Chains A and B, each alone.
Chain A
Amino acid sequence: MKFLYAAYAATWIIHIMYLTTVVRRYARLKREIEDLGGK
């Protein structure tokens, strides 16, 4: 059933979207740390 797969897919899309925000914030932090280290 299409709805079944849509539901499972939606679940993982939502989780991946959230994890992406975490990873992106992490990357930005890493850059800031490098800036601090450079000074």
Chain B
Amino acid sequence: MKKAFPILGLLTAGLLTYALYQALVVAPTEQTMGDVQRIFYYHVPSAWTAFLLFSINFLASVWYLLRRNPVADMVAVTTAEVGVAFCTVVLVTGPLWARPVWGIWWTWDLRLTSTLVLWLIYVSYLVLRRFSSSGQTPVLAAALAVFGALDVPLVYFSIWFFRTQHPQPVIGGGGSIDPRMLHVLLINWLAFLCFAFLVCWSRYRLEALWREVEEVQALEALAETGSDRR
């Protein structure tokens, strides 16, 4: 198992480099936006990866609430942290793309705003995990994740309707995509998925090790108090 990690690491690095080359060199230049549009190849895969990770977090949280399986909780904290990292990338690359193309750093459009709210919910999730007492953390965090999931469709609808009442130009545009661009987009997504997988694996191992150490420390503390009593 451990041998696989460096090999996968190298493969992922290679894939990411290839994907970067595709994004910067091979992909055709967009007609209206120019080269800046290439941010798209990092922005969109990061968003899809973040959403995937948060979905896994939701499933893991439900699993934990139903079965109290510690693995579920470890998956939950891992996907939440890595998800927030990817979501931060989305929120930073979005404005960097919007500014040169549309002249504004931010707009309260549907996608950006719902991503922001999702980011806020999961940052609050991480804060809750850090500030709660360790016995309670898994249950409280899982409950919050469920609430977050319940919130997501409501967030989407509320912003969607707000936009129909107060229309503004849509950032990121809709419409069909050039198949060559789609090809590059998917390559980048694959590369980022592999990267996300490796990061999650590392974080998971860290969590597993940390829990083992905690257990040993707790046992030692008990043993010491026991011997003190004599």
A adjacent to B, CB under 8 Å: yes
Residues of A within 8 A of B (CB): 1, 3-4, 6-8, 10-11, 14-15, 18-19, 22, 25-26, 29, 32-33, 36, 39
A sample of 16 more A-B contacts (CB under 8 A), given A11-B42, A14-B92, A36-B216, is A3-B39, A3-B96, A3-B99, A3-B100, A11-B89, A11-B92, A18-B85, A19-B199, A19-B202, A22-B203, A25-B206, A26-B209, A29-B209, A32-B217, A33-B213, A39-B220
The answer to whether B42 touches A8, judged by C-beta atoms less than 8 angstroms apart, is yes
Residues of B within 8 A of A32 (CB): 213, 217
Closest to B202 in A: A22
Residues of A within 8 A of B96 (CB): 3, 6-7, 10
Interface status of B46 (Cβ within 8 A of chain A): yes
| Known contacts A22-B206, A29-B210, A29-B213: A10-B93 contact under CB 8 Å | yes
> Which of these, B38, B92, B210, B216, contacts A25 with CB under 8 Å?
B210
Restricting to B1-41, which residues have a CB under 8 Å from any CB of A? 20, 34-36, 38-39
| CB of B32 to closest CB in A, whole Å | 14
Residues of B within 8 A of A (CB): 20, 34-36, 38-39, 42-43, 46, 81-82, 85, 88-89, 92-93, 96-97, 99-100, 195, 199, 202-203, 206, 209-210, 213, 216-217, 220
Bound-complex Cα distance A39 to B223 (A):
13
Main secondary structure of the interface of A (DSSP, over half): helix
Residues of B within 8 A of A26 (CB): 206, 209
Residues of A within 8 A of B217 (CB): 32, 36
The answer to whether A29 touches B220, judged by C-beta atoms less than 8 angstroms apart, is no
Bound-complex Cα distance A29 to B206 (A):
9
Most chain B CB neighbours (cut-off 10 Å) among A3, A19, A33: A3
The answer to whether A36 touches B88, judged by C-beta atoms less than 8 angstroms apart, is no
| CB of A22 to closest CB in B, whole Å | 6
Nearest 4 interchain pairs by C-beta? A7-B96, A18-B85, A7-B39, A7-B93
| CB of B36 to closest CB in A, whole Å | 5
